[in-house]
Amino acid sequence: MKNFYIVIGIVALVGIAAVTVVMRGGSGASEPVDLGEIADAELVELARGEVYGDPAAPITIMEFGDYQCPSCRIFAQTVKPQVDLAYIQSGQAKLVFHDFPLQQFQHSFLAARAVRCGGEQGRYFEYHDAVFRTQDQWAAMQAAAGHFRDLADEVGLDTGAFASCLNSDRYADVVTANLTLGQMLGVAGTPAIFIHGGNGGPARRLGGYQFIDIQQAVDEILAAPDPGGSN
């Protein structure tokens, strides 16, 4: 529930009523689905992010990312390892990844579903990293499902269970909810980074996604006086 209140705090900053979300219809699992009438609280619960690091870490770094976005690949391959070494391994911060498949990329939505299928077997971020590592390969394909199935085998997943998940509509609602939440927060491009200090204050969106942007924000939070302290 803690992440729920963090995200609600972010939504309050931008104003939900000011945003109109347009979703594409269809029963396929390669594009957003119609969520119907859904309350804000229900949307936030459905749009659960995947946590990298200690869930109890006081600082939350929230990323809205697209698997076919070249800048998101840069973040995953160069920035995330630096954040991991500097803050996540020490338990000071955690990274929470939210899907934000951009409409201009053909395979983004399916890729997001594929990674969540990998997460069913406890390998979310391992598969997440593999999808980004092979982005140049599958992004150029006419159909990418076969690559995602091959990647499951490479990562060491139960390929039958993975294929069953990928060939269904599973997680289409979750990925759509992530996308909708990001749009409500004003996200238009990726990667979009938000940070929350875990001290009851508001979360804020960073102006960039390089390590220096995150480092400055985290160090500012760490240097701030503890509102619950005696000083």
What tokens appear for 51 in the block? 């946590």
Quote the pLDDT of residue 29: 74
Q: Could you give the percent of the chain with pLDDT greater than 90?
A: 79
For residue 187, give every residue at least 6 positions away whose Cβ sits within 8 Å of its Cβ, in sequence order, or none.
64, 100
Q: Is the pTM of this model over 0.85?
A: yes
Instruction: Determine the length of the chain.
Output: 231
pLDDT in tens, 142-178: 999 999 999 999 999 999 999 999 999 999 999 999 9
Report in angstroms the alpha-carbon separations of 223 from 35, 78, 200: 42, 25, 16
- Residue spans of the domains in the chain: they are 2-24+36-223
Query: Could you confirm whether domain 2-24+36-223 is CATH 3.40.30.10?
Result: yes
pLDDT in tens, 75-108: 999 999 999 999 999 999 999 999 999 999 999 9
